Amino acid sequence: MSNKENSAVVRGELAIARSLYAFVENELCPDSGVTHEEFWDSLESIVKQLGPRNAQLLKKRDELQAQIDDWHRAHREQAHDPDGYRAFLKSIGYLCDKIDAVQLQTSKIDREIAVVPGPQLVVPLDNARYVLNAANARWGSLYDALYGTDAVGEDDGAERTRKYNPIRGDRVINYARDFLDRHFGLDKGSHSQATAYRVKDGELFVRMGNGNNGQLLRPERLVGYTGDPDKPDTIILGKNDLWVELKFGEGYFIGRRDHANIYDIVLESAISAIMDCEDSVASVDVDDKLTVYRNWLGLVKGSLKETFEKDGETINRELVSDREILDRDGKQRLLPGRCLMLVRNVGAHLETDAVLLNGEPIAETILDAMITCLAGKHDLLGNSRYKNSREGSIYVVKPKMHGPEEVALAGKLFDLVEDALGIERHTLKMGIMDEERRTSVNLASCIAQVPERVFFINTGFLDRTGDEIHTCMEAGPVLPKEEMKSAQWLLSYENSNVDLGLASGFMGRAQIGKGMWAAPDAMAAMIQTKIGHPKAGATTAWVPSPTVATLHAMHYHLLDVRERQRDLLARSKELIDDMLSLPLLPEDRVLSDLEKQLELENNAQGLLGYVSRWVGQGIGCSKVPDINNVDLMEDCATLRISSQHIANWLYHGLYTEKQVRETMEKMAHFVDSQNALDPNYSPMTGHLDSSFRFQAALDLIFKGREQPNGYTEYILTESRRGVKSSAAAE
């Protein structure tokens, strides 16, 4: 975060970028009960207390990695010794002594976290339009999601066309009626035969085309309605703590021919949303960071608005209200209109020069904690149009923590922030992202550091795989990237996370999460496969868009996650050794030159496709076409895998440096062609030697082994600053 040309305000031993100082004074602090003078005095005190410990723990990461590198080099020519490896990791303090699961003591947890199973959005906080869409994605049109994606087939005249296709519309309606029959079945007939719905004496009556009436087989699944009970505007049904809304009337093209006058079926979709300051954001200076902070504050206070053009129409976007309905007894009830919002701070390894202490940058995660939590306090105080946490908690997701010492430091940071901001102890809840190897193998000890704060643990293929490759970099060449997904370490990691969460009392109290569906346009495949996440015992899983959230929500109707968790409680197996298994190519596995080249081209194209946007346009997360022109959601975590994988195979002689450079040049031409229609994209080819984007991509590979834990942000940030500096000089 460069604050050059953004003159600093000196306060005590801090030098603060003037624009950040003004934001805190004029926007963040008013009505918070904290003056801006108190804010900066507290920040200085916290940085002095925790900064040295943070630096010490980052140094310990490097020292542990160096020892692991030495061990692998010394044992590279020998058969892998799992017992010896485990003993070694324990001797250097990488692996902690095994402890019994500590029971959570977290209190004041919202039902969206503790009770309701469902999808979770992750969205970059630097894009106001995206975060508003995410916050409003609590409810989503099933008709839209089916009609506009490949979830419904396009055969026999049901193609997606610019003009409304009634054949496709009928297919959508039939799909939705099947959904209703499966989850809200009738004692007589089918929803596909319905011609009218009404509510009487707390019961739902469905009139059939043959004149008969049907009722819900499970009457308690009627939640409520709006309008005249004899001819309601909406009917709300519920299963597994999730709601479904039938909307009656005219005006929506998909349902215009519906014989029951249902013009849409709306599902409770994204139950919570992570508003991200981290991996999905390209934030390299104080101006970038202020956009992130302002958007979070605007979300919390309900004041954030965005106006944009779409298809020639001006659209105004803001947060939506809660929904007023009448329950089965005709009494008024309020249903949440928005997702529960969480905020993800950056990792402990990043620094910001938006604030200097005695001339040195401070840990950015400390600044994030102070600002995002003071913004969150406005929700506690009622300084908002809408309530986010009805239980009075602030939910902070902490990424990239390495083991229990770092979790303990984060807990201490939360203590000091609460004291500084006048917030009751344990109001700040902590989501532990189980995405680094040292956290995975010590997860019980990590939870034990902050049992009063933990509200979620999760798993994910992306960062966890990047760390896995980097940790065993010296051991040998790793498996091809796709084969990593079925490697023993990953399967054990996924199961262990769920087992440990259940043993720690997460059921009915906290979230157990799973990772992202990366292909936002492949909805037929998503519907087929992502049922695996609730089946694994996870109460939530990440999705990249509101549409995916709506379709994934169907899985949580199909499977009762709490029942599944009860089944899994009996599962008990020691998985540490399996998690410590190395994902290396078997010695007798010989890859052909073609196999190696295809792997290289795949990784190089993905790397360049993402870096060209991050560095060139400041886009931290977007749909990036892969080598087969399939759009995939990319962020720093996906980049970490691609760069580390190439670096590993290059180091162990599966590639030559010449081969890598030639392939990168070839893929630069390919990526340029994929972005040819983007008016904001500048080609890399023609000036590769001077391209910040291309050179950054090369550095991520050729300097990949020396990047701490294989992280990409250091190189990306330096290169992005170069682009912005060059643009400012023109």
37 vs 114: CA distance, rounded Å? 37
Which distant-in-sequence residues (6+ apart) come within 8 Å of 540 by Cβ?
Answer: 117, 118, 119, 120, 271, 272, 456, 458, 511, 512, 513, 514
* Residue 109, phi then psi, degrees to nearest 5: -100, 130
302 vs 386: CA distance, rounded Å? 6
pLDDT tens-digit readout, 27-58: 999 999 999 999 999 999 999 999 999 999 99
Q: Is 186 exposed, middle or buried (0-12, 13-18, 19+ CB in 10 A)?
A: buried
Mean pLDDT of 689-705: 96
Alpha-carbon separation of residue 336 from 299, 333, 389, 672 (angstroms): 15, 10, 11, 44
pLDDT tens-digit readout, 188-220: 999 999 999 999 999 999 999 998 999 999 999
Mean pLDDT of 259-273: 96
Got the DSSP string for 504-519? TT-TTTSEEEE-----
3-state class (DSSP) for residue 309: strand
Residue pair 324/334 in contact (Cβ under 8 Å)? The answer is yes
The reported pLDDT for the residue numbered 3 is: 45
Alpha-carbon separation of residue 693 from 299, 664, 688 (angstroms): 33, 12, 9
pLDDT class of 253 with cuts at 50, 70, 90: confident
pLDDT score of 442 more than 80: yes
290 vs 627: CA distance, rounded Å? 35
pLDDT class of 622 with cuts at 50, 70, 90: confident
pLDDT score of 555 more than 80: yes
182: left (phi over 0), alpha (psi -120 to 50) or beta: alpha
The reported pLDDT for the residue numbered 217 is: 97
559 vs 184: CA distance, rounded Å? 14
pLDDT class of 730 with cuts at 50, 70, 90: confident
Mean pLDDT of 148-154: 97
Q: Which DSSP helix (H) or strand (E) runs through 664?
A: helix 657-674
- In the set 264, 521, 635, 699, the catalytic residue is 635
Q: What is the mean pLDDT of the chain?
A: 96
**In the block, which residue shows the tokens 């010296």?**
474
The reported pLDDT for the residue numbered 178 is: 97
Active site residue 635: yes
Mean pLDDT of 588-608: 97
Separation of CA 549 from chain center: 12
In one-letter notation, the amino acid at residue 266 is V
389 vs 329: CA distance, rounded Å? 27
Residue pair 232/225 in contact (Cβ under 8 Å)? The answer is yes
Mean pLDDT of 322-341: 96
pLDDT tens-digit readout, 472-521: 999 999 999 999 999 999 999 999 999 999 999 999 999 999 999 999 99
In one-letter notation, the amino acid at residue 181 is D
- In the set 328, 338, 344, 509, the catalytic residue is 344
Alpha-carbon separation of residue 476 from 439, 440, 441, 469, 581 (angstroms): 23, 22, 21, 10, 13
The reported pLDDT for the residue numbered 4 is: 45
Active site residue 207: no
pLDDT tens-digit readout, 219-239: 999 999 999 999 999 999 999
Alpha-carbon separation of residue 441 from 273, 437, 500 (angstroms): 27, 6, 11
In angstroms, what is the C-alpha Rg of the chain?
26
Q: Are strands 203-208 and 213-215 parallel, antiparallel or unpaired?
A: antiparallel
713 vs 463: CA distance, rounded Å? 13
Mean pLDDT of 681-704: 95
pLDDT tens-digit readout, 405-439: 999 999 999 999 999 999 999 999 999 999 999 99
* Residue 76, phi then psi, degrees to nearest 5: -65, -35
Please give the structure tokens belonging to residue 437.
Answer: 């190897």
pLDDT score of 251 more than 70: no
Which distant-in-sequence residues (6+ apart) come within 8 Å of 155 by Cβ?
Answer: none
Separation of CA 570 from chain center: 29
pLDDT score of 7 more than 90: no
pLDDT tens-digit readout, 119-139: 999 999 999 999 999 999 999
Helices assigned H by DSSP within 457-487 = 461-471, 481-484
pLDDT tens-digit readout, 278-316: 999 999 999 999 999 999 999 999 999 999 888 788 999
**In the block, which residue shows the tokens 């309601």?**
232
pLDDT class of 6 with cuts at 50, 70, 90: low
Full-model pTM: 0.97
Residue 338: name the closest of 605, 90, 610, 546 by CA: 546
Residue pair 109/429 in contact (Cβ under 8 Å)? The answer is yes
The reported pLDDT for the residue numbered 2 is: 45
Interior/surface letters 696-718, b for 16+ CB within 10 angstroms, e for the rest = bbbbbbbebbebebbbbbbbbbe
Q: Is 334 exposed, middle or buried (0-12, 13-18, 19+ CB in 10 A)?
A: exposed
pLDDT tens-digit readout, 77-86: 888 899 999 9
